[in-house]
């Protein structure tokens, strides 16, 4: 009983702390919008090319389930990750460490809080589905058909994501930006592997619910079978997107057949989630600074970062030489070099080796491969770029930096220019290659990319005061570019990319960053 009380209060305090943040409101807004798209039929499941279901409670419930699995599976991780880090940063963790609270209990509390935050999104979507049904009256409301997929499929999925967030936070090197990047690729890989997206709904393929953590395969297979029953010519498959079908072929789908296997598999994912949470407690250092120091020292033997500084014996009083009354003119070059130093400080030697390797590889390959390598080389400094505009909040230097003369008109441009230099250096191999080939188009696209990325990072950093948003958006963006999504290709990887448009967008982002910083200084 006492244990349950401890977990409850741990989770409650953490939950309340989070739901009172603006980021929670943003998440709710996103959920409500996606719920609307799902319930109104604008976001739809279909069997390619244009077979789609009648909008009924089962269809809306399943569409919402697929939406929430994707949204919370990916973005939800970033939304809930950070509660253990906050305990490190605020020092609350050290206070907790002096109590009898055990590691598994602490981790369980954090998991429950994560689960509650994500679970609220599922519940809100469910309520929205009901309200939309009552308001629009498109079909008779079947509460069970609408709610059960969300409860049985989406909730275990978010339980798993909540547990993964706890696991990432319990391991020191996964706690920060690197963990954010790794999770993105791990999630994409797991999605493709577990859902076997290519094969969903294909005749002859049997779904394995025990690896399908999102439930996409379970729903996709069922929907595809229903389509084939009405339209035997369809080749199967399953797609899910915001699509406006001109003349859709409609079929009726009355929901999933809840087989024993499906139900057991959802329970299985809940157990996996619990297993991950308990495993996390093995890695968790329980806010022990000495354990943290030893580990880091081992990993970074030549890093002086955590070596305690030794104090000198106090010297006799000395007096400061007064500075001349005439103050020298402001020097932008000095500030730019200081910003560049700040940007690059703290990187390990292997970081530079990889960056240099990527530059050489850009030089040594064919233009097509060079363009791909350029994208990779520009993702490499993501954790440096993500600090732009947000490091003053992160390290609590705002008051010192913003009380200096012209903080917006000097410091912000110097920060941007330092980041541009970083982009230019990491992409220098490609630039030399394009110059050698006289490829004007690629040179200009390179330039636009080198301007756009720092502008994006700065705008996100200033706007959110955190590095997380840029890390999430940027890695996804570059992933889509590598997958040849022409519309968002600002580096000119695809033949018809509108890279020039991003020059204008860069300007807009810079204006946004300057205006918001100006506003922040004036109003806070």
Partner 1 sequence: MNLIISHLSKQYRRDFWGLRDFDLELKPGVIGLLGPNGAGKSTLMRMLATITQPTEGKIEWNGVDIVKSPDALRAVLGYLPQDFGVYPNLTALEFLEYMAAIKGMDGKTARRRIDELLVLVNLAQAAKRPLGGYSGGMKQRVGIAQALLNDPQLLIVDEPTVGLDPEERVRFRNLLSDLSGERIILLSTHIVSDVEATATEIVIINKGQKRQHAAPEKLLALLDGKVWQWVIPSEDLPALKASHLVSGTIRRENGIQVRVVSEAAPAPEAERVTPSLEDVYLREVAQGSSSK
Q: For binding to partner 1 (CB under 8 A), which residues are involved?
A: 304-312, 314-315, 317-324, 327-331, 334-335, 337-339, 341-342, 345-346, 391, 395-407, 410-411, 521-524
117 and 80 Cβ atoms separated by less than 8 Å:
yes
Write the DSSP string, 370-398. Answer: HHHHHHHHHHTTHHHHTTTTTHHHHTT-H
Q: Of 244 and 302, which has the nearer Cβ to partner 1? A: 302
Q: Of 290 and 321, which has the nearer Cβ to partner 1? A: 321
Tell me the sheet residues that pair with 47.
51
- Chain position carrying tokens 């308990």: 278
Q: How far is the CB of 370 from partner 1 (least distance, A)?
A: 32
Q: Of 5 and 406, which has the nearer Cβ to partner 1? A: 406
Burial class of residue 104 (count of CB atoms within 10 Å of its CB; 0-12, 13-18, 19+): middle
Q: Of 235 and 334, which has the nearer Cβ to partner 1? A: 334
Q: Of 134 and 400, which has the nearer Cβ to partner 1? A: 400
What's the start-to-end Cα distance of the chain, in Å?
Answer: 45
Q: How far is the CB of 176 from partner 1 (least distance, A)?
A: 13
Q: How far is the CB of 285 from partner 1 (least distance, A)?
A: 17
CA distance 435 to 427: 13
Q: How far is the CB of 321 from partner 1 (least distance, A)?
A: 6
Q: Of 106 and 287, which has the nearer Cβ to partner 1? A: 287
Q: Three-state SS string across 287-337, please?
A: CCHHHHHHHHHHHCCCCCCCCCCCCCCCCCCCCCCCCCCCCCCCCHHHHHH
Q: Of 204 and 304, which has the nearer Cβ to partner 1? A: 304
Q: Three-state SS string across 176-239, please?
A: CHHHHHHHHHHHHHHHHHHHCHHHCCCCCCCCCCCCCCCCHHHHHHHHHHHHHHHCCCCCCCCE
Q: Of 255 and 461, which has the nearer Cβ to partner 1? A: 461
CA distance 86 to 68: 26
85 and 177 Cβ atoms separated by less than 8 Å:
no
Please count the residues of the chain. Answer: 524
214 and 69 Cβ atoms separated by less than 8 Å:
yes
In 3-state terms, what secondary structure has residue 502? Answer: helix
Q: Of 189 and 332, which has the nearer Cβ to partner 1? A: 332
Q: Of 204 and 308, which has the nearer Cβ to partner 1? A: 308
Q: How far is the CB of 178 from partner 1 (least distance, A)?
A: 15
**Backbone phi, psi, residue 309, to 5°:** -75, 140
Neighbours of 108 (CB within 10 A): 24
**Backbone phi, psi, residue 44, to 5°:** -135, 155
Q: How far is the CB of 322 from partner 1 (least distance, A)?
A: 6
Q: How far is the CB of 314 from partner 1 (least distance, A)?
A: 5
Tokens of 511: 């204006």
Q: How far is the CB of 401 from partner 1 (least distance, A)?
A: 6
Cis peptide bond upstream of 49, omega within 30:
yes
Return the beta strands (E) in 72-213 as ranges: none
Q: How far is the CB of 315 from partner 1 (least distance, A)?
A: 6
Q: Of 203 and 346, which has the nearer Cβ to partner 1? A: 346
Q: Of 405 and 495, which has the nearer Cβ to partner 1? A: 405
Neighbours of 36 (CB within 10 A): 15
Q: Which of 217, 248, 279 is nearest to 42 (CA)?
A: 248
Q: Of 138 and 288, which has the nearer Cβ to partner 1? A: 288
Q: How far is the CB of 343 from partner 1 (least distance, A)?
A: 10
Q: How would you list the strands of the sheet with 43-47, edge to edge?
A: 239-242, 43-47, 51-53, 249-251
Q: How far is the CB of 252 from partner 1 (least distance, A)?
A: 55
């Amino acid at each position: 009983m006492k244990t349950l009380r401890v977990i409850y209060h741990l989770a409650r305090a953490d939950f309340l702390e989070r739901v009172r943040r603006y980021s929670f409101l943003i998440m709710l807004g996103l959920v409500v919008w996606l719920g609307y798209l799902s319930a109104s039929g604008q976001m739809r499941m279909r069997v390619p090319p244009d077979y789609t279901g009648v909008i009924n409670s089962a269809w809306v419930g399943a569409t919402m389930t697929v939406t929430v699995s994707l949204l919370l599976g990916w973005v939800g991780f970033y939304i809930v990750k950070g509660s253990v880090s906050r305990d490190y940063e605020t020092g609350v963790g050290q206070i907790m460490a002096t109590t009898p609270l055990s590691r598994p209990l602490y981790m369980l509390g954090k998991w429950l809080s994560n689960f509650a935050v994500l679970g609220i999104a599922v519940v809100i979507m469910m309520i929205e589905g009901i309200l939309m049904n009552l308001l629009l009256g498109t079909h008779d409301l079947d509460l069970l058909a609408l709610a059960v997929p969300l409860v049985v499929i989406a909730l275990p999925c978010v339980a798993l994501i909540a547990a993964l967030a706890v696991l990432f936070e319990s391991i020191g090197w996964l706690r920060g930006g690197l963990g954010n990047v790794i999770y993105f690729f791990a999630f994409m890989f797991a999605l493709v592997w577990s859902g076997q997206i290519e094969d969903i709904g294909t005749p002859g393929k049997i779904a394995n619910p025990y690896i399908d953590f999102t439930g996409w395969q379970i729903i996709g297979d069922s929907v595809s079978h229903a389509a084939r029953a009405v339209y035997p010519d369809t080749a199967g498959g399953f797609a899910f997107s915001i699509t406006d079908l001109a003349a859709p072929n409609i079929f009726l789908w009355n929901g999933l057949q809840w087989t024993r296997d499906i139900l057991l598999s959802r329970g299985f994912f809940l157990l996996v989630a619990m297993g991950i949470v308990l495993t996390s407690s093995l890695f968790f250092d329980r806010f022990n600074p000495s354990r943290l120091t030893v580990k880091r020292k081992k990993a970074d033997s030549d890093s002086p970062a955590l070596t305690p500084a030794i104090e000198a014996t106090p010297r006799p009083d000395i007096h400061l030489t007064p500075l001349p009354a005439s103050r020298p003119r402001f020097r932008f070059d000095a500030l730019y070099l200081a910003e560049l130093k700040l940007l690059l400080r703290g990187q390990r030697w292997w970081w530079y080796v990889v960056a240099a390797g990527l530059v050489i590889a850009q030089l040594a390959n064919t233009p097509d491969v060079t363009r791909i390598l350029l994208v990779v080389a520009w993702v490499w400094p993501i954790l440096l770029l993500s600090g732009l505009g947000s490091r003053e909040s992160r390290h609590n230097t705002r008051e010192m930096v913003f009380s200096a003369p012209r903080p917006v008109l000097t410091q912000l441009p110097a920060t941007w220019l330092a980041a541009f230099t970083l982009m230019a250096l990491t992409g220098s191999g490609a630039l030399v290659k394009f110059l050698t080939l006289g490829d004007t188009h690629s040179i200009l696209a390179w330039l636009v990319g080198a301007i756009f990325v720092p502008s994006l990072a700065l705008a996100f950093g200033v706007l959110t005061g955190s590095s997380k948003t840029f890390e999430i958006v940027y890695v996804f963006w570059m992933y889509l570019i590598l997958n040849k999504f022409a519309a968002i290709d600002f580096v000119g990887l695809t033949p018809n990319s509108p890279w020039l448009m991003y020059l204008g967008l860069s300007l807009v982002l810079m204006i946004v960053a300057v205006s918001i910083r100006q506003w922040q200084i004036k109003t806070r």
